[in-house]
Structures are given as structure tokens and as C-alpha cells.
Amino acid sequence: MASASSGAGDKAELSGFLRSRRARVTPQQVGLTAGAGRRVPGLRREEVALLAGLSADYYTRLERGRPINASDTVLDAVARALRLDDAERTHLFDLARRPTARTSDSPAPPQRVRPGLHRLVDSLRDTPAMIIGCRMDVLAANPLTRALYTDFDAMPRRERNVARYVFLDPAARELFTDWAAAGRDAVASLHLYAGRHPQDALLTELIAELSDQDDNFRRWWGDHEVVEHAYGTKNYRHPRVGEITLDFEALPVPGDPDQTLILQTAEPGSPSARALRSLSDRSVADDSAECCAG
């Protein structure tokens, strides 16, 4: 079972991450000769040690999660040897420096969105907007976001989560044009968060739940990919308005490092812009109908 807990789990996370990173780097990429009879897909431990300027024994102990107070210089050298990007480098530092205390049995208090920020999100009628918190929890979503994805507000609070939606809601597999890419992105984002918050008991529960219920999640979690999406493009096939391509921006919320404002926009005058406008009009009509019915 996958786990984000500390203690023995910390060692497994660091070990698994380092093994997965060196497995993807070939000797040719770093100017080494592969040689005959090679049995590993990427670099050997001693080759990583050589590239990082470390002894083979030291790197082996680091990869196996042995108690080593690795300096920034050592971790930087390992990151360069394994060709880590910025997100991966950050994750390495998080895993190598995370505390050894066991996961807390007391969950953190529920996150809250400032009233003014909540009003701002709700006021955006032509742009899907949402606030994402810890573990990819959905803390706030405007009507257009709910029309694009699902009505998060109607769910029990613990189920308002992007990763849970992607993997456990059958509609998500139809919505995302490339569902596998969306799933991998969600897993990679959770991995990055797990490195920063090793004692989050609710994260441990979420990973266990998704691992138990979805084979893809369990397999992709074992790949140890990490990613931090600050911007990008998402493609949808919405059942009500058809194909939509949206650009997104992920903006950190000032004053709360664990909250992110996600805004999605369509290119002006494009078919996606017209589809988004149509979806907005329909969501307004649906809301009006519900109010009248009530």
C-alpha cells in the first residue's frame, strides 16, 4: 500500500525517488560508457556517486535512507548528477530533510478561504476559478468551474478533492481529452505535496484510498514523478458544449502558502471561448431554474 507517512515510509520515499531518477538517466546522457552485460536500465549507484563526487558507500547509504545529514552541497551534486529539474530538486531536499517523527494522529483544522477571496472567486462569471488547498482539496469553486467539472459544493467536504474527482468519478474520464495525462499530473502534484508535508494524516488516507480503488493511481504513485504546474493548457471534451481548450494560471494566495488560485481562460474569439460562454450561459440558466423550483 502506498504511504506518505514518516519513519520507515520516509526512507522508502527517498529510496524510491532516487532509484526512479537514476533509472531514467542513461550512461550515454552523462558521457559514460555503458559496457557489456549491463543489468540496470539507467545509472548504477557507483556511477551516480562518481558524477556527484561522492564515495559509492556514501551515496548508497543516502539512497537506502540511512541516517545521513547530507549538506546542501551534497544534495545539489546529486541533483545535477541525476539531471533533476527544479521541482525534482525541491522534492529531493524535502525528502532528505523531512522529520523522522511519526505521522500525527490529530488532523489539521479544516482550511478556510478568506471571505473577500471567496467573493472574488464567485464574482468571476466568465472564467472558471477555484481555490485549491492542501492535498488538492477544493476550497472554493465558482459556478463556471462547477459546470465544467462537477458540483464540488454538493459533495461532503472530505470528497471535495481534485485527485479524488479525477480517479473516482467516471465522468472525469470522459471530460479530459487525455485522461491519463490528467491522472499522472494529479499524482505528481500529490507526490510533491507529500514531500513537503510528511506528517499529513489526511494525505496518507487519501493516497491509501486512491491506491486501493484505482490500479493506475497505484502504478503511477510508484513512478515517483513530481511536478509543480504554474501554468499550462488543458483540453476537455464537455458533454454539453463539446471540445474546449483552456489556458490555466496557478497563482499562490498571498498570506496562505497552502492555497492556490486556479484561473482558466480561452483564447478570445476562438471556438473554445464560444463554448465556454455557452457553458456559462447554461450554468446561469440552471441556477435560475433551481432557484425558481425552490
**DSSP sequence for 205-238:** HHHHHHHHH-HHHHHHHTTT-----SEEEEEEEE
Q: Among 207, 222, 277, which Cα is nearest to 246's?
A: 277
The number of residues in the chain equals: 294
Phi, psi dihedral angles at 248 (to 5 degrees): -125, 150
What the chain holds in terms of domains, given with CATH numbers, is: 8-97 (1.10.260.40), 115-293 (3.30.450.180)
Give me 189's grid cell.
502534484
pTM: 0.87
**pLDDT tens for the chain, residues 1 to 294:** 444 444 445 678 899 999 999 999 988 888 887 766 677 779 999 999 999 999 999 999 999 888 778 899 999 999 999 999 999 999 999 999 865 544 444 566 788 999 999 999 999 989 999 999 999 999 999 999 999 999 999 999 989 999 999 999 999 999 999 999 999 999 999 999 999 888 899 999 999 999 999 999 999 999 999 998 899 999 999 999 999 999 999 999 998 889 999 999 999 999 999 999 999 987 765 665 554 555
Those residues whose C-beta lies under 8 Å from the C-beta of residue 66, and which sit 6 or more positions away, are none
User: Quick one: which of 164, 178, 171 has its CA closest to 211?
Assistant: 164
